[in-house]
Structure 1
Amino acid sequence: TMALKFARQAALVTGANRGIGLEVARQLLQGGVESVTVCARQLEDAEEAKRSLEEEGGGRVHAVQLDVSDGASLGSVWGAEKYDVLVNNAGCFEDGWDDEVWERVMQTNFLGPVFIMKMALAGRAFQPGGHIINVSSGYGMLDKLPEDLRERIETLVRKKDLDGILAVSSDREACSTLPSFAAEMARANVEENLRKGGPLIPQGGGYPVHKLSKCLLNAATRVIGASGAAVEKGVRLDCVCPGWVRTRMGTEAAPRGVKEGAASVLAPLACPWPDGGEAVRFS
């Protein structure tokens, strides 16, 4: 079981109806958390996850409908429960660069989680001394972006400019170099993998919006983690890349099992605070 940090142990996990999110909820309960709220886009999916977890025993489980791409849904996520742990796991993995893909991926992977973080810090539903963990991706590393975009985001992080980071998510024109950069990187990765004797793993157009959305999530986590709201409440924020995991999103080709991926997500709960009080961790 995990050595969790909190005396009062209530957790909320988004995207918890399957895959990493469901396993995160399971491992929290196995580690002694008293109460876990599982969130899913459809209430019946959350309730099914709740039943599954309750059958295994452990703490209390609550089911909540939450669509991180829907503002009204986001506004109603915090109920009467007071939480110590928030795991922003809900996400999507889509290729393409059209308006619909941009809006859906940005809202799900970046804007929704940021809104939940800000609500957690602003309201009374999140306990002082709590811990927020955002599930990121290896695709969210800065080296996955072209130089102009990488430098822009690095500058915004240095300035602790959250509004500037948020603005990137609505400025497709300024990100115009990303699709060709991502596509070329994808081609190079496929060729390199084949040259090393590995399997052919298609990478499509390089998932440009996904890469940017996760990079922005990493950046926002650093800035919010250093903000007055987080520091005053003693809330720690981490981003974790669980690696390529065998889930419906990750496919059966992935090298890591879901238990390993979930354990990586929860690893910061057992880690001491890093110097500076903020971290973006990758496993």
Structure 2
Amino acid sequence: MGAGGLVGGTVLVTGASRGLGREAARWLAERGFTVIAGTRAPALIPGTDVLALDVADEASVRAAVAHVKARHGRLDALVNNAAIQIDGTDGVLDLPLETLRRTLETNTLAPLRMAQAFAPLMGKGGRIVNVSSGGGQLSTPAAWAPAYCISKTALNAVTVQLSEGLKPKGIAVNAVCPGWVRTDMGGAEAPRSLEEGAASILWPILEAGPDVTGGFWRDGKRIEW
């Protein structure tokens, strides 16, 4: 570990089969990290330890913890990137509650489950990054996909709670907005590249000091909740 960000170590990235997760895993591998790429679907991600992982399934998460402990012994950083967006442009008054439940399970409860499961493998100076969204900001309300936006607002609250809960262990927890990125979810019209989005996500790991915790960030700059 350097004076600021981590230099080397073992990092688990969820949702790594495509998009921002895959790009973040690639960046870390190129910088000498041992990267565990968590994927639901089989994927070949060069330079990584590909791990079958469904973050919404408790048994799958338990198996992932056993794998990481047996093969790597510890974890230095966790990137909770896996997420779904299954609602469209209908307003919140037309939002099926089952859609919200499914979205919360993956986008909010799963990052909490992952943090609870993997924190025992992390030591002082460890990092947890929750990939959030500007859609989750209460300061600038968004309504373009209400279930997704609600889930990211809740994820921000989980981030603050985890930050407080893990301070005694010296583990920093932050939420990051990668911006509107050209991915399958973001679409071809998005203004930001995968590289820009991944750089934003990885800032708390590669650049921020170990005392930077409990914040919401975009491109290394704090943004409003």
TM-score (norm 2): 0.84
The CA distance in 2 between the partners of 1:274 and 1:280, in whole Å, is 14
The CA distance in 2 between the partners of 1:250 and 1:4, in whole Å, is 31
The CA distance in 2 between the partners of 1:3 and 1:32, in whole Å, is 17
| C-alpha displacement of 1:76 | 1.8
| C-alpha displacement of 1:89 | 0.4
Structure possessing the higher radius of gyration over alpha carbons: 1
In the alignment, is the contact (CA less than 8 A) between 2:123 and 2:170 conserved in 1?
Answer: no
**Which residue is equivalent to 1:271?**
208
Which residue identity does 1:279 align to in structure 2? G
Match of 1:77 among 59, 64, 79: 64
SS at match of 2:176: strand
Number of corresponding residues: 206
The CA distance in 1 between the partners of 2:97 and 2:152, in whole Å, is 18
The CA distance in 1 between the partners of 2:87 and 2:55, in whole Å, is 19
In the alignment, is the contact (CA less than 8 A) between 1:136 and 1:239 conserved in 2?
Answer: yes
The CA distance in 2 between the partners of 1:76 and 1:4, in whole Å, is 32
Match of 1:215 among 147, 153, 157: 153
**Which residue is equivalent to 1:65?**
52
Which residue identity does 1:272 align to in structure 2? G
In the alignment, is the contact (CA less than 8 A) between 1:74 and 1:112 conserved in 2?
Answer: no
The CA distance in 2 between the partners of 1:211 and 1:220, in whole Å, is 14
In the alignment, is the contact (CA less than 8 A) between 1:222 and 1:280 conserved in 2?
Answer: no
The CA distance in 2 between the partners of 1:101 and 1:41, in whole Å, is 20
**Which residue is equivalent to 1:94?**
86
Q: Which has the higher helix share?
A: 1
SS at match of 1:67: coil
Which residue identity does 1:90 align to in structure 2? A
**Which residue is equivalent to 1:133?**
129
**Which residue is equivalent to 2:102?**
104
- CA RMSD across the alignment: 2.1
Alignment of 1:224 onto 2:177:
no
In the alignment, is the contact (CA less than 8 A) between 1:68 and 1:107 conserved in 2?
Answer: no
| C-alpha displacement of 1:102 | 1.5
The CA distance in 2 between the partners of 1:20 and 1:261, in whole Å, is 7
The CA distance in 2 between the partners of 1:36 and 1:26, in whole Å, is 8
- 1:22-74, CA deviations, whole angstroms, 9 ceiling, x for partnerless residues? 010111112221x10001112x23xx22xxx23xxxxxx21111112222212
The CA distance in 2 between the partners of 1:66 and 1:4, in whole Å, is 30
In the alignment, is the contact (CA less than 8 A) between 1:139 and 1:211 conserved in 2?
Answer: yes
- 1:206-237, CA deviations, whole angstroms, 9 ceiling, x for partnerless residues? 2111111101111110111011xx12221001
SS at match of 2:124: strand
Q: Cα gap change, 1:3/1:95 in structure 2, threshold over 3 Å: closer, same or farther?
A: farther
Matches within 5 A, 1:233-252: 233-252=169-188
SS at match of 2:38: strand
Unaligned runs of 5+ in 2: 89-94, 220-225
Which residue identity does 2:38 align to in structure 1? C
In the alignment, is the contact (CA less than 8 A) between 2:4 and 2:210 conserved in 1?
Answer: no
The CA distance in 2 between the partners of 1:223 and 1:38, in whole Å, is 26
Matches within 5 A, 1:1-283: 5-6=5-6, 9-33=9-33, 35-42=34-41, 44-45=42-43, 48-49=44-45, 53-54=46-47, 61-78=48-65, 79=67, 80=70, 81=72, 82-95=74-87, 97-121=95-119, 123=120, 125-143=121-139, 182=143, 206-227=144-165, 230-269=166-205, 270-273=207-210, 277-283=213-219
In the alignment, is the contact (CA less than 8 A) between 1:13 and 1:89 conserved in 2?
Answer: yes
**Which residue is equivalent to 1:187?**
none
The CA distance in 2 between the partners of 1:77 and 1:267, in whole Å, is 25
Which range moves more in the overlay, 64-73 or 14-23? 64-73
